A and B are shown apart, each in its own frame.
Chain A
């Protein structure tokens, strides 16, 4: 028990970290008014249940019992009419789709994905989520890697700042591979889409790529790849790779799995 003079209190004197505060957050007692209302509602529900015809095993809802034949007939008629309506609507939609299909460009289907193409206002990993598996998902033009490509300019370090650095980078606006090629000549090989896809598949064969940041690692040009850790769903893999990253050779400079 903590007293003002106990060791526990002394422990409290040091500043708690956020994880400690969150993990130690005490339950919030339900306010008396809310509890009373809740138990009233449960009592009312109990009364309804008691008033309903008794059911021998609690597994069958009472309404399934003793349906009036006239009500059943009326219900069947309504169900039949509803089914007919659904069939007609589906057929109509199908005919309309067939009719309009000729004029549609295959890329128009991809246009739906355009809504999840890089945009500064959209969460980067939301985009990654919508576009999995990463290698298969194109961007609006049908040529993107399927995950946000960033050029944050961060010089990553494997220290306590790394997770914060990564998520700060994710806040930056995604860029096109063409832009990266111009800005980061040292990493130019990786701005080729197929090469980038091969590299990412080598580093994160399980997919779940959150972002790829053309940046630096310890001052050297490097691509930092953030992806779900397939061995620990609470973790994220952060891998810094060099320009030779490709199938069979990730050219990894560093790799870490952190709880993010």
Chain B
């Protein structure tokens, strides 16, 4: 057992607020890969992602004292980065042309440690980058990052139905691009019959 306990994220943030010159950098080091992942996947462009992460983390640096502690520090940082990405995506949408990365697999995906995951990752990233931005953000936040539909609706300022629709369209397109079943396990059914409530048919005048 390590005799020296490493500080928690909350300890580091408190130390930063109290003036510790190294605490925030250490905090960032702990979370930077996850923050980078969400940024590069939602924006589909490494340059934009780098700017978004930097802007977001500098904002977090300056406003660390406003952190109320009602969520994990990592979630707080994550949320700030996601918001920065959404802002950038909106700004990009207002620009006349969006250039999709041609070599997304080379620029986005660095070799992953887990060999088993690498095949999927190399296929997934360029496929994600090829999705329309709204669908990409919905799929990344809901299906990869595990945000709830309600949270994503709030972050993106759209209705939950819109998020669902974007997820569904994005998944369908992704499944085509990656060449995998969209939602159907080989031996399973995504709509289990036990969950279906079928109401006995009622006679009506209109039916033959």
Residues of A that sit less than 8 Å from B by CB: 2, 8-9, 12, 14-19, 21-31, 34-35, 37-39, 41-43, 45-46, 50, 54, 57-59, 123-126, 128-130, 132, 158-160, 162-164, 167, 170, 186-189, 208-210, 220-221, 226-228, 233-234, 236, 242-244, 251-260
Contact = CB atoms under 8 A, between A and B. Distances in A.
Contact of A28 (B36, B165, B181): B36
Given A28-B121, A29-B110, A254-B199, 9 more contacts: A9-B116, A17-B186, A25-B37, A25-B117, A27-B36, A59-B17, A242-B207, A243-B207, A252-B199
A25 B142 CA distance: 12
B58 A42 contact: yes
Nearest to B34: A27
B100 interface: no
B186 A14 contact: yes
Q: Is the interface of A mostly helix, strand, loop or mixed?
A: mixed
Interface stretch (B1-9, B83-91, B189-197): B189-197
Given A28-B40, A39-B25, A233-B150, A18 B189 contact: no
B162 A129 contact: yes
A158 B144 contact: no
Contact of A18 (B21, B110, B183): B183
Given A24-B120, A58-B19, A251 B190 contact: no
B155 interface: no
Contacts of A129: 158-159, 161-162
B64 to A, nearest CB: 7
B74 interface: no
B110 A31 contact: yes
Nearest to B169: A167
Contact of A25 (B120, B198, B199): B120
A244 B204 contact: yes
A30 B2 CA distance: 28
B185 interface: yes
B143 interface: yes
B149 to A, nearest CB: 5
Contact of B121 (A25, A59, A126, A244): A25
Given A21-B120, A28-B33, A243 B206 contact: yes
